[in-house]
Chain A
Amino acid sequence: MSEAKKEQTTTHKIGIYLWIWGLLFVLSFFSYMVDWYQFQGLLRWSLILIFMFLKAGLIMAFFMHLFWERYALVNVLLWPMTAIACFVGLMVAEGKYTLFSRIFYFFVGGQ
């Protein structure tokens, strides 16, 4: 492994890490509350997703230092997620279609 030329790294103040740490606890607590109060339907799903992405974003941005990295690295890491998004979207449709055809052919049509 090569040694990079002496980095003049200024490390970040400890406060920022403690802040993020605290925020993560709060967000986890909120997402736990979603279950505690038994929200249902669209509200539940959107709250779960919002808290999930906020937590994921905080971990990536600050704990993994992505916020301070240069755009070259950040973009290389985030663009491939479009393939995942496409895969997810299509599989949502596919799952619904499979369920539809199962119900249609095995229960409705099978009569």
Chain B
Amino acid sequence: MSEPKIEGYKFKPGYSGMAADTASDQTMFKGVHWGKAMMWIFLLSDTFIFSCFLISYMKGRASTPVEWPNPSEVFALNAFGVPVPLLLIAIMTFVLITSSGTMALAVKYGYERNRKMCGWLILATALGGLTFVGMQAFEWSKLIHEGVRPWENPFGAPQFGSFFFMITGFHGTHVSIGVIFLFIYAYKTFAGHYDEGKRGWFTSMKGDYVEIEILGLYWHFVDLVWVFIFAFFYLW
């Protein structure tokens, strides 16, 4: 967030500030909480995981001589008797972006120490995530019903099914883990653990509202990955 005051250290803007921060003692990321720095580095590592998945998908799709199924038709959904392309996917995108927005607001109210508002927004985010996972389950079962399997599919290249289930499955796992943590954090917020600095269950370390921002980073990352999956898998 915005620059904190650090005794004896003068902040500089831009690249000279970057050089000064890097060359200074104690911390490189000034005023950044340890947990937040950790989450960023973890997300960087996770970015590489998803990049490797998407690169594999690209390479697999580019090198198969068999026809690749047209996602616009495969993922169409009948609304009032008319097949609408990518209808479900559009709704899923809408839901995930909505939940990302509520999470951003939750972080904001968390820093303002508005316990109630923060808690409700986290809960809303969790429900958004849950809806997303539910719709993904619906999408999977629809495709499986149509005969798409990880090892084959009736529309063309068998790699379509493999990559689809693997990548959306991996993303869905991320969303599910996020939802579980959102519910836990919603409980902890309502119970006031962050106001009192109550110690955690496992790590026995004190709670703080910065944890909401850390979880928020993770949640936005999940949304970010969806942006790429949406573009490369459903639109391309």
Contact = CB atoms under 8 A, between A and B. Distances in A.
Q: Secondary structure at chain A's binding surface: helix, strand, loop or mixed?
A: helix
Nearest to B110: A11
Q: Secondary structure at chain B's binding surface: helix, strand, loop or mixed?
A: helix
Given A17-B105, A34-B235, A73-B40, A9 B65 contact: no
A3 B208 CA distance: 8
Contacts of B122: none
Contacts of B29: 70, 72-73, 76
A18 B61 CA distance: 38
A72 B55 contact: no
Q: Which of B5, B61, B63, B90 has the most CB of A within 10 A?
A: B63
A70 B3 contact: yes
Q: Which of B30, B59, B108, B208 has the most CB of A within 10 A?
A: B59
B149 to A, nearest CB: 23
Nearest to B11: A70
A45 B236 contact: yes
Contacts of A45: 236
A72 B22 CA distance: 7
Contacts of B235: 31, 34-35, 44, 48
Interface string A30-42: 0110111010000
B72 interface: yes
Given A63-B104, A87-B51, A95-B59, A71 B18 contact: yes
Contacts of B28: 72
Interface residues of A, number: 64
B220 A59 contact: yes
A14 B63 contact: no
Interface string A62-85: 111100111111011100110010
B101 interface: yes
B206 A35 contact: no
Interface in B194-210: 203, 205-206, 208, 210
Given A7-B31, A45-B236, A48-B235, A68 B1 contact: yes
B77 interface: no
29 contacts: A3-B206, A4-B33, A5-B6, A8-B4, A17-B101, A17-B105, A21-B104, A25-B97, A34-B235, A35-B85, A35-B86, A35-B234, A36-B85, A48-B236, A56-B228, A63-B216, A63-B220, A64-B224, A65-B213, A69-B32, A75-B18, A77-B44, A84-B55, A87-B51, A87-B55, A92-B62, A95-B59, A98-B59, A99-B64
Interface of A: 1-5, 7-12, 14, 17-18, 20-21, 24-25, 28, 31-32, 34-36, 38, 44-45, 48-49, 51-52, 55-56, 59-60, 62-65, 68-73, 75-77, 80-81, 84, 87-88, 91-92, 94-96, 98-99, 102-103, 106-107
Given A68-B1, A95-B62, 14 more contacts: A1-B34, A1-B203, A3-B208, A5-B4, A5-B6, A17-B105, A24-B97, A44-B235, A59-B227, A63-B103, A68-B2, A92-B58, A94-B59, A94-B63
